[in-house]
Amino acid sequence: MSFLWPWALLALLAVPLLVWVYRRGLGGPAHSAALHPDLRLLAQASRQPRSLRRHLPAGLYLAALALGLIALARPTAPLPLPDNRTTIMLSLDVSQSMDADDIAPNRIQAAQEAARRFVRSLPDGARVGLASFAGYAVLNTPPTTEHQRVLDAIDQLNLGRGTAIGAGLLTALQALPERGPSQTGTSTAPAGGKRPPAAIVLLSDGRNNRGIDPLQAAAQARDLDVKVYTVGLGTEGGQMTLGGYRGFNAGFDAETLTGIATTTHGKYYAAGSAGQLNSIYRSLGRSLGWTVQPREVSGFVAALAGLLLLASLASSELYTRRML
């Protein structure tokens, strides 16, 4: 937390002075004496321990005063805000191995559910699109602020043969604003030389066996200032059924996925369960599409000071009634 008017914090020096005045007022000797008709009752009252509750109203009042003075200094705090400049592409593996059931209920359904949660977690104005790949890649939905279109496309995914991770990455890359190929075959670039921020979240459960080398596609993403976050889905014992025969090993290529993320300055995740996968996408949803910026929180601090002041008045009234 920082302050727009830090010099106003000097007013907090008055708080210790008020504490000293309060303590001095409690411990002063009596200046006069009074006769009491019932010595037994007086002795009983003197034996009762002093309760800390009698200091509660004063403590709450001093806390309210301190927060009020802090609010005068106009505090600021970093807060997450929607970042509508960033475009995010999801690239999902839909190869036959995604039918393996080591991730309940199976890999493809777990991936679809996690992707749906990710899209729903994005701010309304964020642009998101979907690409899928098996033996070849398909652009299912270009980047859009109409998130329901992406959710519908996720529901309609179908499995296919082969795994073309590089093509899936390249298709998602070319769908991003000012990253697609121009008529001359080169990537387009803005006049100012700075492209809008973008990221790709790529999930795969297999090994590339078709098309472009994934690391070559990753190099293109790096040159176009696109971070790629890769997710490896599956377990070491994951198997799939093909043609009625079970026992085909369906493991992902962690080395390639790590290389893609490292090349593009992104991050690699491994998901061995539906819970881990949801947690990964939840974490990405909280970072992508959002930006942290300092915002003044004077109103919040002042409101908290007001609540403490009300609590001080209420506790004082309650304690006074009990004494009476």
Q: What is the pLDDT along the chain (324 residues), one digit of tens a residue?
A: 777 778 887 888 887 877 777 777 665 555 555 555 655 655 555 554 456 666 777 788 888 888 888 888 888 877 766 677 789 999 999 999 899 888 889 999 999 999 999 999 888 888 999 999 999 999 999 999 999 999 999 999 999 999 999 999 999 999 998 887 643 344 555 555 577 889 999 999 988 988 899 999 999 999 999 999 999 998 865 555 554 445 555 578 899 999 999 999 999 999 989 999 999 998 888 888 766 667 778 888 888 888 888 888 887 777 655 544
Quote the tokens at residue 252.
């992902």
Residue 53 and residue 318 in contact, taking contact as beta carbons nearer than 8 Å: no
Domains and CATH numbers, the chain: 81-182+193-293 (3.40.50.410)
Quote the tokens at residue 240.
């799939």
Output phi, psi for 145, to 5 deg.
-90, -5
Output phi, psi for 189, to 5 deg.
-140, 145
Helix (H, G, I), strand (E, B) or coil at 233: strand
